[in-house]
Structure 1
């Protein structure tokens, strides 16, 4: 290493130590990239991510949705679908899984990490020039399928959550040092998809053998493939940053309009990234219902388009690189009741420059996942409200802050009822996004 580069690295570390030291308040994710060397970890400069980086938000969840429909895809999972997928990557703790199963539901449970990258490499120019982006995981979601295939929990990890990052393999060779405290959305830059998996494993205690990274184009193509996604808006949404302006009522969103709806933060709730997650769960729940509807599952053209849209915009772990295994995971999901598909936000509290896990609530969530228990929510959705036009059987009881929440009394005796500071909703709940006008921003 040259003296000049070593001096630059030391100056960089003095300005940006990965420690518990207090930071200047900055809601944006860290934008520093780890420099890669063969034997030791060094940290260099990340390229500045533009405002368009937030487009990646929740694209990762689309894989969970596409898997729900793959029972129909199984019959049309041809060579052309398999060839649409990008080259796979090897996870740090990945082990040989033995013989790939015949087409049929996978045995036992599944833990699969879904990452939405802000990278625009190889994407449509509408997303911005490639050299303007970083490579942050602006969405990180864990999908847990129970051993008996009776329920699914999808956990969203806020991008600005400070967590410990373990030592990670460098894709170019060697390893990166561990860090005591850094935002979770830097892990993709730091050590690629394997590093994000290792970080979530450390945070939750779970073993995660499957992972996928999805890029910008996926959400547009998937929303187009199903003919648009109906979303309910309770109050007017006005967001100049994403160009999202929606009046109260139901809107069927597809293409760029769907992507911008997922991106909007200023136009919903209190304008925070946490209420944006709630807004995205409104979209995702409706997307699951749309995909599981007869109109989609009985339409091979829609299913094929949906699968190809996902595969053409994602990088899979080696363990998911065979279509038969992907379909076997999907078949474990096909008969699960919508009320047993739970979207939950990892519980956090505010800190300078971001958020940190709420230890007690996070421990309760992690324990339920480790014990393979069904999840029941006792708190609110985190920002959305009950759809007044929802089918009567799906209406949730009102809560004191006017947000929708499941009824704990309706859960079974085996359900793990999480603390009230854990927010989320089921795919069976019909909710509306709570908008925010320019006057309130």
Structure 2
């Protein structure tokens, strides 16, 4: 084994164009049925020819990883790792030269869907968290893996061994099996936010960030493209200027994005659905077993009926140390024990970079407890209630929040 000294990338696998076209016919036919447009052949060819190469994860190298389900709701739970890379390779020159950065996972998020599809959790790992990194395969030399390391920042894992190394690190950190992963770069964020038609975001206090060039007044802003990317990247312009409050700012965006995607307008609009599929396939690098329409449709069906208040965005619990943060293992163990058991969770508060939206929709009044009860009404199953996690912060997709902006005067 040897310790890596330069940026490495996972080996890319060439896709079979004929198999890819076949897999995308199902999705194209679905668009055809709801749109009435005679574009099936064109759409299938377009999607198949523009798809990005996939990456083989360590757990699926022998082809015996997670099985491909039939079209329909996903059976059981699922874990997917979503990684945002700050690499400038292959990106528009507006983001800077290719030699200006390495290949760091600037954003690392784990999506967990419970086995009964009653709840879902997205865990954000602060990029400056010092964690153990296990031995990772070297994509260029599988016979000589990289040595494990006892404490390195989690955002360096993409540099050491590509997406498979990030997956292995998060598996060891959480105790969860992660058979699916995806990596997106700056252009992918721009494309996805544009494809959905923009995301309405509330700004509670003015955001001023000279580093990203983002300046937003208080109020609601429809963000897409470049502005959406810079909103997600801003750190100096929100909260206390730390990466931790940046995560809270991202949760403001993600919760609104979830509400937008689950809205009737998006789910019944074939143009938006096709644009989303095209944007994802052309801008996101997927692990082999995720790069399949059956899987994508099944996961979407598992998510679509989960109530917004049962979709939680949480920050991996940490404590401050010199040069970054370190895991709060007691709180983290409680979090991942609940996820492993597919229990719903109740969070201990927000992460400090957001405000309650004063214009949030008013919830319906609770039912009158003295009202007559229908004797034929179905009886809800008994539940032990959610696991209360006082040491874990975040919000649900059903909570309407605003970014807590920060001006240049306070920086």
Class of the TM-score when normalised by the shorter of the 2 chains: 0.7 to 0.9
Distance verdict in 2 for CA 1:73–1:427, change over 3 Å: farther
2:325 corresponds to 1:364: no
Deviation larger for 147-156 or 305-314: 305-314
Question: What is the aligned partner in structure 2 of residue 86 from structure 1?
Answer: 52
Per the alignment, in what secondary structure is the counterpart of residue 2 of structure 2?
A: coil
Question: What is the aligned partner in structure 1 of residue 167 from structure 2?
Answer: 197
Question: What is the aligned partner in structure 1 of residue 94 from structure 2?
Answer: 126
Per the alignment, in what secondary structure is the counterpart of residue 343 of structure 1?
A: strand
Could you tell me how far 1:414 is from its partner in structure 2?
3.4
Paired residues for 1:346-365 under 5 Å: 346-365=316-335
Question: What is the aligned partner in structure 2 of residue 401 from structure 1?
Answer: none
Could you tell me how far 1:45 is from its partner in structure 2?
4.4
CA contact (8 A) 1:211 1:317 kept: yes
Superposed CA deviations along residues 121-150 of structure 1, whole A, max 9, x for unmatched, are 222222222232211111111000000111
CA contact (8 A) 2:55 2:287 kept: yes
Among 291, 304, 307, which residue is 2:261 paired with? 291
2:309 corresponds to 1:339: yes
Paired residues for 1:4-43 under 5 Å: 40-43=1-4
Deviation larger for 369-378 or 230-239: 369-378
Aligned residues: 363
Whole-Å separation in 1 of the counterparts to 2:286 and 2:410: 41
Distance verdict in 2 for CA 1:104–1:73, change over 3 Å: farther
CA contact (8 A) 1:81 1:311 kept: yes
CA contact (8 A) 1:361 1:422 kept: yes
CA contact (8 A) 2:27 2:293 kept: no
Distance verdict in 2 for CA 1:158–1:287, change over 3 Å: same
Question: What is the aligned partner in structure 2 of residue 408 from structure 1?
Answer: none
Per the alignment, in what secondary structure is the counterpart of residue 106 of structure 2?
A: strand
Question: What is the aligned partner in structure 1 of residue 84 from structure 2?
Answer: 116
| Structure 1 ranges of 4+ moved more than 3 A | 71-74, 76-80
Among 408, 411, 414, which residue is 2:385 paired with? 414
Distance verdict in 2 for CA 1:98–1:347, change over 3 Å: closer
Whole-Å separation in 1 of the counterparts to 2:262 and 2:137: 39
List alignment gaps of at least 5 residues for structure 1.
Answer: 1-39, 48-70, 396-411
CA contact (8 A) 2:346 2:387 kept: yes
Could you tell me how far 1:391 is from its partner in structure 2?
0.7
CA contact (8 A) 2:191 2:283 kept: no
Could you tell me how far 1:363 is from its partner in structure 2?
1.1
Distance verdict in 2 for CA 1:251–1:98, change over 3 Å: closer
CA contact (8 A) 2:196 2:261 kept: yes
CA contact (8 A) 2:6 2:159 kept: no
Whole-Å separation in 2 of the counterparts to 1:436 and 1:137: 25
CA contact (8 A) 1:265 1:273 kept: yes
Give the CA RMSD over aligned residues.
2.2
2:108 corresponds to 1:140: yes
Could you tell me how far 1:79 is from its partner in structure 2?
4.9
Question: What is the aligned partner in structure 2 of residue 154 from structure 1?
Answer: 122
Distance verdict in 2 for CA 1:320–1:74, change over 3 Å: farther
Could you tell me how far 1:83 is from its partner in structure 2?
3.9
List alignment gaps of at least 5 residues for structure 2.
Answer: 9-25, 32-42, 366-382
2:281 corresponds to 1:311: yes
Whole-Å separation in 1 of the counterparts to 2:208 and 2:67: 52
Whole-Å separation in 2 of the counterparts to 1:426 and 1:239: 27
Superposed CA deviations along residues 125-180 of structure 1, whole A, max 9, x for unmatched, are 22222232211111111000000111110000000000000011100112000000
Whole-Å separation in 1 of the counterparts to 2:149 and 2:269: 48
Deviation larger for 290-299 or 149-158: 290-299
Could you tell me how far 1:342 is from its partner in structure 2?
0.5
Among 44, 47, 50, which residue is 2:5 paired with? 44
